[in-house]
């Protein structure tokens, strides 16, 4: 039982690692996440603010993983162009875009005011 449990984590981590290695956008998302966490460390966020920042980061990473999975399945079942395959890929990419936009809104609402106070208040 425990062996299967550990195996499932190994497979999940392999999937995340695959997405990170093969998808340029995932690398961009991880870089942005690292920057957001680094900035947040200096801004002394409240626990709620940390929760919102981490939720935003994980939503982007999650949607990028799902997007990659959908693209792989679509490529498998429809190697040639098909309008429905395009719709599936475009919708999955759109989900990533929405998650990225929402993470920017979170950063703007939580981090930006603290940055302004830090650098522009006397």
18-30 per-position pLDDT tens digit: 999 999 999 999 9
Is 121 a residue whose pLDDT tops 80? no
Q: Which residues are annotated as a binding site?
A: 64, 71, 80-82, 89-90
* Residue 44 DSSP symbol: T
Instruction: Report yes or no: 14 and 85 within 8 Å, Cβ to Cβ.
Output: no
Written out in words, the top-level CATH class of the domain with range 2-120 is: mainly alpha
Catalytic residue IDs: 64
Residue numbers in the known binding site for a divalent metal cation are: 71
Which pLDDT band holds residue 2 (cuts at 50, 70, 90)?
confident
Mean pLDDT of the region 105-112? 97
| CA 25 from centroid of its chain's CA atoms | 9
Task: State how far the Cα of 14 lies from the Cα of 48, in Å rounded to an integer.
Answer: 31
CA pair distance 28, 72, nearest whole angstrom: 20
């Amino acid at each position: 039982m425990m062996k299967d449990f550990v195996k499932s984590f190994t497979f999940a981590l392999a999937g995340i690692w695959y997405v990170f290695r093969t998808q340029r956008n995932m690398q961009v998302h991880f870089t942005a996440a690292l920057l957001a966490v680094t900035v947040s460390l200096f801004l002394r966020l409240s626990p709620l603010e940390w929760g919102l920042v981490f939720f935003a980061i994980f939503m982007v990473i999650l949607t990028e993983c799902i997007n990659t999975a959908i693209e792989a399945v679509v490529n498998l079942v429809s190697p040639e162009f098909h309008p429905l395959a395009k719709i599936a890929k475009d919708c999955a990419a759109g989900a990533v875009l929405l998650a990225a936009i929402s993470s920017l809104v979170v950063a703007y609402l939580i981090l930006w005011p603290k940055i302004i106070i830090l650098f522009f208040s006397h």
